[in-house]
Structure 1
Amino acid sequence: MAGDRHGHPMSRTGPEAVASYEQALDHLLFFRPEVAEASGRVLAAAPHSVMGNVLAAHLGLLGTEEKDAAEARTAFERFKEHAHRGEMTPRERMHVAAATSWLNGDIHRAGRVLGEISVEYPHDALALAVGHQIDFFTGDAPRLRDRIGGALSAWDPSDPHYGPVLGMYAFGLEESGHYEQARESGLEAVDRRPRDVWAIHAVVHTYEMQGRFADGIRYLDTCADAWATGNYLNVHNWWHYCLYALEAGDTPRVLEIYDAALHHAQSPGAAMELLDAAALLWRLHLADAETGERGARLADAWAARHDGAYYAFNDVHAVMAYVCAGRLAEAERLVRAREAYVAGGGPRTANRAMTADIGLPVCRALVAYGRGHYDEAVDLLLRVRHRLGEYGGSHAQRDAVHKTLLEAALRAEHHALARTLLSERINLRPVCPYNWLAQARLADGLGHGAQAAAARTKAADQAAEGAVALKR
């Protein structure tokens, strides 16, 4: 029986298919679009390859696209009709169970099974990579860190895939608050493999979470050739660049990047890219910034997808786009559709729970905010603000919702709540011009002119370094 380069046997997979599988795995770890073609070559050479079919199933799921997932489910069920469990290795049977669980809507069980694989087979890079993304999609920071950390010591640093495994660990460390260790691990991973865009992304997150936005701008500029084009993560890393530019107060630069990279006429309309565009426009909307027709064009792109209930995190960003465009009727129509989905029968899938518990309250709050019903937005978000991780994403992504709560509190003149929220934010991230500008607005509302002026001065001083970095 042929096997991969780590000695894992691969049933019904000849040498040619194994070679293509290794190429596909390499592309997957580095977020290269060539992964789809390489995966196709595996199945062309070995249509009944267990791991080839498992890989194809996961590729249909990782983009959080409902239609891709449905096609992957059909193909995988067809594969299982002709597969014989007796011919599979124990590892392969576990992989089939994990893929089946996710395809059937139980993403949490899929993550647990992949974790069991990593315990027994720590060099199984597919189990680590897919499990890591599941932890991201479910917002499970401790598991995002420990899934990789638990396998890392089994890897030889000379292994070509040690770098991307270390890069995954860096992101898990960052989401768990270990910023210095995360940055060191991420930089080491990039030093090993300079085009490791996930490791670059992990480093970028550490700068974001520590308010080191000028350092983040300089870092992304330094390694732009590695991340800015030609990979599935380039739009997301441009989004991070925009977050830095927002802190520096350079809205024109933000809109320039938005038009060039985040959303334009040639954008493919993929959910993972549209949500970055929506998340950025929403932050601009909270700041009352003028964005022209961008909101309408983005809302059109979301509407053209005709998404069903598949991933609550995506639904929230679709609603952001509709509200930014002033198309509240469409936002409310999506909310009603998800309410019907939750109320309907059927299995309680992970997404059904995410939608009921987190997605719908957030969507309703966004609509309320769009209508100027700030008290209602506050009430809805206060109930879920400490549970937002349950519907996925990173701390940086979920901060858009936390900012919505703060903005609603300020506009509703809930001064005590706004003071509390700002105290939380400033003590956690003292270098953040947004926080200090919000503090100034609160002081204005309380009639504390001197405090407002001091907060604005602090915000301007902090933004200045980022502005210098942008002009380099």
Structure 2
Amino acid sequence: MTADRHGHPMSDTGTEAVVQYEQALDDLMFFRPRVAETARSVLAASPRSAMGQVLAAYLGVLGTEQKDAAAARDAFLRFRSGLDTERLTTRERMHLAAATAWLDGDLYGAGRTLGELSIAFPRDALALFAGHQHDFLTGDAQRLRDRIGGALDAWPDDDPHHGPLLGMYAFGLEESGHYARAEEVGLAALARHPGDVWGIHSVVHTYEMRGRFADGIRFLDARTEDWANGSLLTVHNWWHYALFTLESGDTARVLEIYDAALHHDRSAAVAMELLDAAALLWRLYLAEEEQSARWARLADAWESRHDGPHYAFNDAHAVMAYVGAGRIARAERLVQEREDWLAGEPGGTNRAMTAGIGLPVCRALIAYGRQEYGRAADLLLPVRHRLNDFGGSHAQRDAIQRTLVEASLRAGRTALAGTLLSERSRLRPVCPYNWSAKARLADQLGDPERAAAARRRAAAQASA
């Protein structure tokens, strides 16, 4: 029996397939678009390779694309039909169980099995990568940190994947609030592999969460050749660049980035990229920036996907696009479709995500679009501390948190707005948005001196 480079036996996998498998893992760790091609090469060389089949299954679910997941499930079921699992290794059987659970919609079950895998086989790079992305998609910051941290001692410093694992660990540290340590670890990852786009992304998040917007722009500018083109994370890292620019108040530059990188005529209508586009335009929508043409094109892209109930986080961003484009009826139809789906008593993790977080958020976004600001606040307030339950990062979910702030201000709920802004400004004291919102609150409260002071602080931070 052949084995991977860490000595894990690989059933029904020839020597050439092992070579392709290792290349696919490397492509996966560094977010190279060719990973799909190299994964297919594994199965072309050894169609019954258990680990090749598992890799293909994970690739089918990691992009949160319903059609890809359905196709991967069909292919995996064909592979499993008549499979004698007793011939497989314990590790391979655990991977089969994790992949089956994920393809069946049981994300939490998949995550638990992947966690057990990483305890038993801490140098299984595929289990660590899939688990890390799982924790991101389910918004589990502690596991995002500890899944990788718990395995790192088993990886020697000279292993070629020790660097990208550090980049993954840095993201888990950041999402858990360890910003300085996350920056340190992320920079250590980049010292090994400057083109580690997930490591770049991790460091960028630390700047976002600490309000170091100028540092973030300088950091990305200095590394443009390493991240700005050719990876599966290119659009998302441009989104971060746009967020930094937005805080500086340069809306024209934000829109240049949007048009050049986030959404344009050549953009693929993939969920992860449409999500970034919607999240950026929604921030401008909250600031009452008119972007009707861009919203219309983005809403068209979401509609062209014909998404069913697959991942509630995507649904919320589709609703942003529909509301931004003035297609309230389309947004309401999506909500009705999800309500009908829930009434059918479906199983799977997305049921809980949709019922508990997704639908309240979607309804709140629609209410905001209808200028029913009090209702929007009422819908968001009970879920604001549980938004992580439907996935994403703190930076991504902040678009929804800002919606609650804006709804509170526009509804004249000054006590609630004051509480929210007190929380935000103490957690992120350097954030022009927070201080400009405080200025508007002070205006409502009839305190012109405090309003003027808040505006000066916002302006000073934006121009820093």
Common fold: TM-score over 0.5: yes
Distance between the aligned counterparts of 1:233 and 1:290, measured in 2?
A: 28
Amino acid at match of 1:94: M
Match of 2:417 in 1: 418
Is the 2:30–2:197 contact (alpha carbons within 8 Å) kept by the matching residues of 1?
Answer: yes
Match of 1:304 in 2: 304
Match of 1:403 in 2: 402
Match of 1:436 in 2: 435
Q: CA deviation at 1:451?
A: 0.7
Query: Aligned ranges for residues 166-315 of structure 1 at < 5 Å?
Result: 166-315=166-315
Match of 2:84 in 1: 84
Aligned sequence identity (%): 68
Match of 1:136 in 2: 136
Match of 1:468 in 2: none
Is the 2:292–2:325 contact (alpha carbons within 8 Å) kept by the matching residues of 1?
Answer: no
Q: CA deviation at 1:290?
A: 2.1
Distance between the aligned counterparts of 2:305 and 2:360, measured in 1?
A: 23
Match of 1:470 in 2: none
Distance between the aligned counterparts of 2:161 and 2:345, measured in 1?
A: 44
Between 77-86 and 352-361, report the one with greater CA deviation.
77-86
Is the 1:189–1:196 contact (alpha carbons within 8 Å) kept by the matching residues of 2?
Answer: yes
Distance between the aligned counterparts of 1:119 and 1:148, measured in 2?
A: 10
Amino acid at match of 2:262: L
SS in 1 for 2:151: helix
Amino acid at match of 1:17: A
Amino acid at match of 1:438: A
Match of 1:376 in 2: 375
Q: CA deviation at 1:430?
A: 0.3
Q: CA deviation at 1:84?
A: 1.4
Distance between the aligned counterparts of 1:235 and 1:257, measured in 2?
A: 10
Q: CA deviation at 1:153?
A: 1.0
Q: CA deviation at 1:109?
A: 0.7
Match of 2:316 in 1: 316
Distance between the aligned counterparts of 1:346 and 1:447, measured in 2?
A: 51
Match of 2:453 in 1: 454
Instruction: Report whether the alignment pairs 1:389 with 2:382.
Output: no
Match of 2:355 in 1: 356
Distance between the aligned counterparts of 2:11 and 2:316, measured in 1?
A: 42
Distance between the aligned counterparts of 1:266 and 1:388, measured in 2?
A: 32
Is the 1:48–1:83 contact (alpha carbons within 8 Å) kept by the matching residues of 2?
Answer: no
Distance between the aligned counterparts of 1:16 and 1:49, measured in 2?
A: 11
Match of 2:75 in 1: 75
Q: CA deviation at 1:62?
A: 0.6
Amino acid at match of 1:405: L
**CA deviation vs aligned residue, 1:385-434 (integer Å, no higher than 9, x gap):** 00000000000000001000000000001000000000000000000000
Match of 2:148 in 1: 148
Amino acid at match of 2:242: C
Q: CA deviation at 1:343?
A: 1.2
Distance between the aligned counterparts of 1:345 and 1:283, measured in 2?
A: 35
Q: CA deviation at 1:82?
A: 3.9
Q: CA deviation at 1:87?
A: 1.3
SS in 2 for 1:400: helix
Structure 2 length as normaliser, TM-score? 0.99
Distance between the aligned counterparts of 1:102 and 1:313, measured in 2?
A: 17
Q: CA deviation at 1:83?
A: 2.2
Amino acid at match of 1:238: W
For structure 2, the residue ranges without an aligned partner over 5 or more in a row are none
Distance between the aligned counterparts of 1:114 and 1:2, measured in 2?
A: 23
Distance between the aligned counterparts of 1:292 and 1:218, measured in 2?
A: 31
Is the 1:170–1:203 contact (alpha carbons within 8 Å) kept by the matching residues of 2?
Answer: yes
Q: CA deviation at 1:125?
A: 0.3
Is the 1:60–1:69 contact (alpha carbons within 8 Å) kept by the matching residues of 2?
Answer: yes
Amino acid at match of 2:403: T
SS in 2 for 1:153: helix
Is the 1:107–1:134 contact (alpha carbons within 8 Å) kept by the matching residues of 2?
Answer: yes
**CA deviation vs aligned residue, 1:89-127 (integer Å, no higher than 9, x gap):** 000000000000000000111011011010011000000
The RMSD of aligned alpha carbons is 0.6
Distance between the aligned counterparts of 2:158 and 2:196, measured in 1?
A: 16
Between Structure 1 and Structure 2, how many residues are aligned? Answer: 464
SS in 2 for 1:191: helix
Amino acid at match of 2:61: L
Distance between the aligned counterparts of 2:121 and 2:359, measured in 1?
A: 39
Amino acid at match of 1:209: M
Amino acid at match of 2:463: A
Q: CA deviation at 1:346?
A: 3.2
Q: CA deviation at 1:292?
A: 3.9
Distance between the aligned counterparts of 1:378 and 1:344, measured in 2?
A: 29
Match of 2:463 in 1: 464
Is the 2:33–2:231 contact (alpha carbons within 8 Å) kept by the matching residues of 1?
Answer: yes
SS in 1 for 2:9: coil
